Amino acid sequence: MKHLKIYEDYSDEEIDSILSDLERVGQVKSVRISCLIKNLVPQQLTNPSWWSEYLEVFAIVNFADRGTDEANKRFALEKIKKGEFEQNLESLSPDKAEVMEKENIRKTALTSSTLDDFLSRVADQFVGVIFRLWEDLVEKYLETKSPKEVEEFFSIAYWRSTPKKAWDEIYKTMSPEIRIRVK
């Protein structure tokens, strides 16, 4: 009980400092949480799986282990909210880069209650950009087609029949994920 009372007297910053010191001397495990998203580029109009894909890491957080995955996720979200994260964005086009810029990521984290909710919100923003790129391709492609060819284009594939279905298909293809690595 003596240790619990002492523990309660520490601020979050002091506890973080203690854990960091212990981590440096090898007494505490370190955690690396990465939020990943596929950078999709629509190369074809007909099937999302034909799009080129590059894995993008948009938030990397390193800290001393908090004991459980949920505690680690909560702590990582707090660090992201403060802007204390790294990015590894290698192949983003300018329109996608705006969604993934550090300040937008931080603002999105501020409106999120969990790390999973945060990832979902970022993915939705990212899907919006990809969806608009796909729509532009479709519009240019269909400008040269007859009404019958346009009707056929939308009827051939289930996912192209409505914008909502196309959005959902893009989201599934992107497969956002959180990776937790404890060392």
Q: What is the pLDDT of residues 75-102, one digit of tens each?
A: 999 999 999 999 888 777 777 888 888 9
Q: Which residues lie closer than 8 Å to 59 by C-beta, 6 or more apart?
A: 33, 34, 35, 76, 80, 85, 86, 87, 105
Considering the domain boundaries, does residue 92 fall inside one?
yes
Give residue 44's domain range: 29-182
- pLDDT for 23 equals 59
Considering the domain boundaries, does residue 56 fall inside one?
yes
Considering the domain boundaries, does residue 112 fall inside one?
yes
Residue-level length of the chain: 183
Considering the domain boundaries, does residue 24 fall inside one?
no
Helical axes 115-142 vs 69-81, angle rounded to 10°: 70
DSSP conformation class of 83:
T
pLDDT of 2 over the 60 cut:
no
- In a 3-state reduction of DSSP, which class is residue 179? strand
- Total domains present in the chain: 1
d(CA 85, CA 106) in angstroms, rounded, equals 9
Q: Look up the pTM and report it.
A: 0.78
Q: Which residues lie closer than 8 Å to 90 by C-beta, 6 or more apart?
A: 54, 56
Q: Which residues of 117-126 are buried (b: 16+ CB within 10 A; e: fewer)?
A: ebbeebbebb
- pLDDT for 5 equals 47
d(CA 131, CA 123) in angstroms, rounded, equals 12
